[in-house]
A and B are shown apart, each in its own frame.
Chain A
Amino acid sequence: MQQIFNFVIRNKTFLLFLLLFSIALALTIQSHSYHRSKFINSANFLTGGVYGTMNSVDQYFDLKTTNAILSEENRQLREQLFNLQGTKDSSYIDSSYSKGHYKITIANLYKNSYSSTHNILTINKGKNDSIKQDFGVMTSNGIVGIIDNTSKNYATVLSILNVKSQINAKIKSTNHIGSLTWDGKSPVYVQLEDVSQFAPIKVGDTIETGGESSIFPKGIGIGTITSFETDISGDTYKIQVKLFNDMTNIGTVYILENLDRAEIQSLENKTNE
């Protein structure tokens, strides 16, 4: 017994080092598995407060670009509205669809990151605004990511620039689906994998969300094809996609809540059983 105590006292520095290092390592490993970074994340009171102060200063510096983006979006929406008005008279409107399937919340991005391989963003809406895990996040240009952790007033977003992220996407012209991943290299390009070899692919084609996952609605733009190659297995294409969104410069984002999600999920669970 005496010897054990002596050993502990003699090596106390090393033992403390070992303890702290293994705690840190455990947290690291935990954070590398999906939806697990529970304890150490920036969706809390302290970090949210600091990032909030920083954001309110930061916003003034790009008011001009934000305005430009907003007016461009206004133009697009107005265009869609006018086109819709033309078709409205003749088409039949089903009253069950008029309720809408998606609820949109606006949020400010408090922390952006794109230089690491596991990028996580922080936004200023949380549980108090009924934001929950697995809601979709987008800007006017395209998708940004999926809500990961939420606290009272803040939430973290698993960016599409995260090697853990996997989002269902399709080629606009042919409806061939694949999953959108990131190889961790450039914040401008993401990869569309598992696209069938039978798909006719052209450089310059548009990639958009597939709407299979009930997180994003069908048809939100993601990017354009810049190059493609056959996968090692030979059955599928691996496509390089240039993002519409400039992921290095995001100010305001929209959070999408699918109101039918619970229904879809319970149906799928029933089928799987």
Chain B
Amino acid sequence: MNSVAGINIARFILLLLLQVVICNHIDFLGYINPYIYIIFIFLFPIREDRLVLLFVSFLLGLMVDMFSDSGGVHAAAAVCLAYARPILLKSAFGMLYEHQSIKFSSTDIGSLITYISLGTIIHHTILFSLETFNISNILSILKKTLFSSIFTIILSVLIIILFSRNRK
């Protein structure tokens, strides 16, 4: 149990630092940034209490907000993603989730990509809507959501595959 907590705390800090030190400053083509800190929410242990997940996600989002001076947009998007996670898990993994026996390191790649993509799109839509906070800029919101989502999904899947292979 302790090692699980340790791994998650380390993951929290590492992903947060990676996000604010590197990923927030990529600005590919002027506005495209990956938001990889949500990997933490994706990989949070399933058997843990959902209340803990919600709270930790809020904290993570708030830390990212603090570093990027964005009010509470990351916190709001992260909490939404954490709340929607069981639905995503069910739609991506189906039966496996019902039996609570998913191991992210050994699931097949198709379900993993579905899971990550759905989550990323939910997170980014809320993130950019709140960040722009202006419904008349809906095209710019959609554009940012689409391109940043692609970037985040590719990077997240790569990171998860890369680090789960190591653990085996």
Residues of A within 8 A of B (CB): 12-14, 16-17, 20-21, 23-32, 37, 40-42, 44, 46-47, 50-51, 54, 111-118, 120, 122, 156, 184-187, 248
Contact = CB atoms under 8 A, between A and B. Distances in A.
Contacts of A54: 21
A156 B82 CA distance: 30
Interface string B30-64: 11110000000000000000110011001001100
Interface string B126-153: 0000111110010010000000000000
A51 B20 CA distance: 9
B70 A118 contact: yes
A24 B83 contact: no
Q: B71, B76, B130 — which one has the most chain A CB atoms within 10 A of its CB?
A: B71
B131 A26 contact: no
A40 B66 contact: yes
A248 B72 contact: no
B69 A184 contact: no
B71 A21 contact: no
B67 A28 contact: no
6 contacts: A23-B75, A24-B58, A26-B72, A27-B72, A32-B133, A113-B68
Interface residues of B, number: 39
Contacts of A25: 72, 76, 130
B66 A41 contact: yes
B133 to A, nearest CB: 6
A17 B79 contact: yes
B17 interface: yes
Nearest to B80: A21
Given A16-B51, A24-B61, A117 B75 contact: no
Interface of B: 17, 20-21, 24-25, 27, 30-33, 50-51, 54-55, 58, 61-62, 65-73, 75-76, 79-80, 82-83, 130-134, 137, 140
B71 A13 contact: no
Given A20-B58, A40-B71, A187 B30 contact: yes
A27 B61 CA distance: 12
A42 B67 contact: yes
B72 A28 contact: yes
Contacts of B79: 17, 20-21, 24
A187 B70 CA distance: 18
Contacts of A114: 27, 30
B88 to A, nearest CB: 15
Q: B25, B61, B76, B137 — which one has the most chain A CB atoms within 10 A of its CB?
A: B76
Contacts of B75: 20, 23-24, 27
A20 B54 contact: yes
A159 to B, nearest CB: 10
Contacts of A51: 67
Given A17-B83, A24-B58, A41 B69 contact: yes
Given A42-B68, A50-B67, A184-B137, 5 more contacts: A23-B75, A37-B69, A41-B66, A46-B66, A111-B67
Given A20-B75, A21-B76, A184-B140, A115 B27 contact: yes
Contacts of B66: 40-42, 44, 46-47
A122 B58 CA distance: 24
Contacts of A248: 27, 30
Contact of A13 (B27, B54, B62, B132): B54
B163 to A, nearest CB: 23
